[in-house]
């Protein structure tokens, strides 16, 4: 069994697409409307993707503070600089729980914690 995607219900599709494409670096695979009030977008390469879904009719749900999505980066310092250049704030970190890993968190436009991880 393979993990296929994580679905994120978003407040603003354009702001979320900007974040996941320009900050995280995911490429757009598809963007469609399933009906008048629901828009979907799939991003990412390989087998695992992110699905963004926007319902123009309906309330946002609290995603929970204990959930995060992690993305590997080659250089954590470069990624922290990119975050600052995008006008975003580092939410938590950076942390180095052992000599082989460093990471920090930012919040996406919907309040979801996004973790950037450098493995050494």
Hey, what domains does the chain have and what are their CATH numbers? 1-57 (3.10.180.10), 67-120 (3.10.180.10)
Higher pLDDT among residues 19 and 45, named by residue: 19
For 11-15, which contacts have Cβ atoms below 8 Å and span 24 or more sequence positions?
11/54, 11/60, 11/109, 11/110, 12/54, 12/109, 13/39, 13/41, 13/52, 13/54, 15/109
What's the whole-model pTM score? 0.88
Q: Per residue in 39-54, pLDDT tens? A: 999 999 888 899 999 9
- What whole-number distance in Å separates Cα of residue 61 and Cα of residue 26? 24
Q: Per residue in 68-95, pLDDT tens? A: 999 999 999 999 999 999 999 999 999 9
């Amino acid at each position: 069994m393979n993990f296929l995607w994580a679905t994120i219900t978003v407040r603003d599709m354009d702001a979320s697409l900007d974040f996941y494409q320009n900050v995280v670096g995911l490429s757009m695979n598809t963007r469609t409307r399933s009906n008048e009030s629901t828009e979907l977008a799939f991003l990412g390469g390989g087998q695992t993707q992110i699905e963004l879904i926007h319902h123009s009719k309906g309330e946002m749900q609290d995603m929970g503070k204990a959930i995060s999505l992690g993305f590997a980066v080659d250089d954590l310092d470069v990624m922290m600089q990119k975050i600052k250049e995008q006008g975003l704030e580092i939410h938590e970190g950076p942390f180095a729980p052992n000599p082989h890993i460093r990471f920090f968190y930012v919040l996406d436009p919907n309040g979801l914690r996004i973790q950037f991880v450098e493995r050494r």
